[in-house]
Structure 1
Amino acid sequence: MLLSKCLRRSFVLGLSALIGLSSCLAVAGQGKDHHAFNRVPGAQMKGYDKVDYEEINLLLSKPYRLQGKWQVDETERVGGVYTYIHYDLPSNISTIQAFRNYQKLVKQQGMEVLFECDRTCSKDFSIHKIINIFDDGRDNYLNGSSNLFYLVARKGNLNVVIFINDLNNTSVFQYVIEEEQLDDSLISPIALSLVESGKIDLYGILFDTGKAEIKPDSAGELADLAQVLTDYPKLEIDIVGHTDNVGSKRDNRKLSAARAEAVMDYLIDEHSISEDRLNTIGRGQTKPVADNGTDKGRALNRRVEISALNAQVIVEAQQQDNAQIASSNQSSNNSSTSSKSEEKSGGIDMDDIGKAADTAGKIFKLF
């Protein structure tokens, strides 16, 4: 059985990694069932992981092998609050029994099934063969191929991915993504690009040919960058200098490093950004984004790239802002409706009964 990346790292590092291994294995005891999906009765939680923001690829068609590589034709990238849970089920519960109950569960939740694959999945692939395509970035254990079932469902911003297979006992790997969308009107283009792509190329930071002194016309773009760093005080970045291919490779690398350091010094001196949040790299001509054979291409290759080392702090800050706005709106709504509620006679609101029924609908009943 394939070991998870967490376990593999511990064996490679040897005895000194046992502390890290123990923390890796201990997460199961810290977890709890997701609020939208109760566990199968008798199931034991073997792994748990939750973070405020992560992304995964929803696999929306059956994986297949082409020229020695595993591929999936239809995928969709989603991001938001991420919860991973690995359950082992009692020995008397078969994989198909668990799968049928999850099908029933998502139906009761009013979720739309985007894709599902029953036992025919087992004939073609093991889960670990498509981990890189699934790409959840969390190193969480995912394995197995015997009696494999797979399901993806969605309702609103709630996405659930279920892998079920036979690993001695029936195992369930459950991933839930509660999508969070950033409000583009409240976030700068630089910050938005750092969240979406992890980096941004800035062309408004200008230098004379062969020199590393920042030109005065660069002040506007540098102020925009400094504002992002001020708005998100936990954000850390790499400042990466790039050149075209005019000149020697050695000189270009030296020049690009000097320009990156000039940007760092400017942010520190002019905008009081802490030095420990900034790192500089000189790539020279080694990472072109366009053809160096044309003037336009060389101009695109001369750039300062900003790469976020922890872009999730932007998302977390936006989530906090959204929560504060929602709380403020809720308080306003409560105050505006309180007088109306006082005019109503006592009794039970049927809408509340409907909501309670929806919540009760997530309880498992095994066949």
Structure 2
Amino acid sequence: MACRACVACDFPGAGPLPSVAKDAPGSGDHPLVGRYKGSEIILYQTSDFDRVDLLAKPIPRRFAWPAALPDDLRLRLDGKSFRIVYRGPADRSAFEVDANFAESLKAKGFETLFACTDTECLSGETSFYQLGGFLDDTRRNGQYGQAVTYRLARLSRPAGDVHVALLVGKSANATHVAMRIVESKPMQGDQIAFIDAGQMRLGLDNAGRVALYGIQFDFDKTEIKPESEPTLREIAKLLQAQPALRLIVTGHTDGKGEFDYNLGLSQRRAKAVVEALSKAHGIAGDRLLPFGAGMAAPLAPNDDEAGRAKNRRVELVKR
């Protein structure tokens, strides 16, 4: 049966194996997964922080990739990701290769969350080729016979869980293994530099506004966190050095939640900043105007945490 989006999508270049395996430049095995003996790496990609969807249940009948994988079928993970594709020996079956990985992963402490073979992977559908599309969105020509396995496994550890998705497929010339590996970890925060009074003044003079990320609130709260004090001191220093300066203190939220609710939350947060500057730092209240913009003025898409973090901010606007 011909495929529109097939297992071969994960298996580039199905030509004969060279006499000596040669890995793609800059590639390497993942230390917790390894490779099947006699294989070579033909594709290698990594990302320090990414969002990856892994298939966690059989694909429903007649569901066609590249449609988005439904929430109830996927395991969505954030963390360091690896995409590795191996071309292995032609005289080894997909089942044998998968069984070796299963044994090795179990010995390392991995738990198999989902495993399937051929048509088991697609809830009774006679074609299982689209399975490859959910592991990798690269389209390639080719067709592999009724010899495909898929395995999703997890290693739980204090440093962060590791998930491995393995797709093994057999062709006439080789047995290919496509891996997606995700090392879960929190996004690296504190990447927005602290802004002092001099930098605030420069931003106001050049652009009429400056974005601040040093004023922090807990989720859905309006109380200013103690670690915000250094930034509040710098705002006070800025205003004390320029007695004629008047500012709009604008609260911004990310795109999560209802528009009207976020509008009110941002207004209350802006008011809390004004009150802190007035009561704790002696700034006259009539020099500061609180304003809530909610989610209406993003600096980045709200599609991921990195973008949402950039949108959650307090801005000073020159009046």
TM-score with structure 1 setting the length:
0.43
Structure number with higher helix proportion: 1
